[in-house]
Amino acid sequence: MKHYLLLVFCTLAISNISGQSDRHKYIGINALGLTTTTLNTNYYFDIKPFFSPLIDIGYTFNYEKSFDFIGTILTPHCKCGNNGFDLNKQSGTYLKLGALLNLRKTFDKENYFHLGLFFTNSLINQGCTYQTLDIIDPFFPLPTQLSHTKFIFGFNASIGYEFSIVKKLKSSFDFQVSFPNKNYKDLFGYRNYIPGIGFKDFEGYWFPMLLWNLKYRL
């Protein structure tokens, strides 16, 4: 409950700041999210040339039905045992709050690098078939259907490059790494996708993700 109250407070604070800003405001999507069956929308606004708060919300329909060709490059997608968990569903929603630190001095500069720091809350639903060992006959595993829903939050850091396409359309490429809280260890196996955070196999603790945002100026 405390995390949700913090989200409400942050959202209200950012909305209040946005209302005071006469600078450009943008709404966008992460096009690469479609390869992970994720639909999202993000909203950000320029307060200063070097500072742009951002709100991002999205929903993953089922990562197990995805074609995450970028994810397979960033981290191993092993087809091994996954500790006996055969995942058939990984879906859920997320809310990301944070800001971009733009490496520019004036608003006139439209092509520039930026750094990002975010706080992400994710609600993930998993379903799987688990191969258990029968006590009477341990040589023949018995399948068991399992499902659960977990709340996970974490911090994201990113680096990217933003550029103008036409007068009201911009784009950016970002490489993001995420560090979720210890709740991610409660997920089934080790081949997990967390909405807004990314996919990780058995190696390492951090979750990598590549973002391609298309942004329209309001």
The residue extents of the domains of the chain are 2-217
pLDDT tens digit string along 58-83? 999 999 888 877 777 777 666 666 77
Q: Taking residues 168-182, report their average pLDDT.
A: 94
User: Residue 101 pLDDT > 50, yes or no?
Assistant: yes
Q: How far apart are CA 141 and CA 124, in angstroms?
A: 27
Q: How far apart are CA 133 and CA 25, in angstroms?
A: 57
CB-based burial label for 27 (10 Å; 0-12, 13-18, 19+): middle
User: Residue 4 pLDDT > 50, yes or no?
Assistant: no
User: Residue 51 pLDDT > 90, yes or no?
Assistant: yes
pLDDT of residue 5: 46
pTM above threshold 0.75: yes
HSE-CB of 60 using CA atoms within 13 angstroms: 31
User: Residue 133 pLDDT > 70, yes or no?
Assistant: no
Tokens of 2: 């405390």
Strand partners for 192: 200
HSE-CB of 127 using CA atoms within 13 angstroms: 10
CB neighbours of residue 171 within 10 Å? 15
**Main-chain dihedrals φ then ψ at residue 103, nearest 5 degrees:** -90, 70
User: Residue 18 pLDDT > 90, yes or no?
Assistant: no
User: Residue 138 pLDDT > 70, yes or no?
Assistant: no
139-151 b/e with 16+ CB inside 10 Å = b?
A: eeeeeeeeeeebe
2-217 CATH: 2.40.160.20
- 3 state DSSP class of 62: coil
Strand partners for 129: 86, 145
pLDDT band, residue 3 (cuts 50/70/90): very low
pLDDT band, residue 25 (cuts 50/70/90): very high
Q: Taking residues 164-186, report their average pLDDT.
A: 92
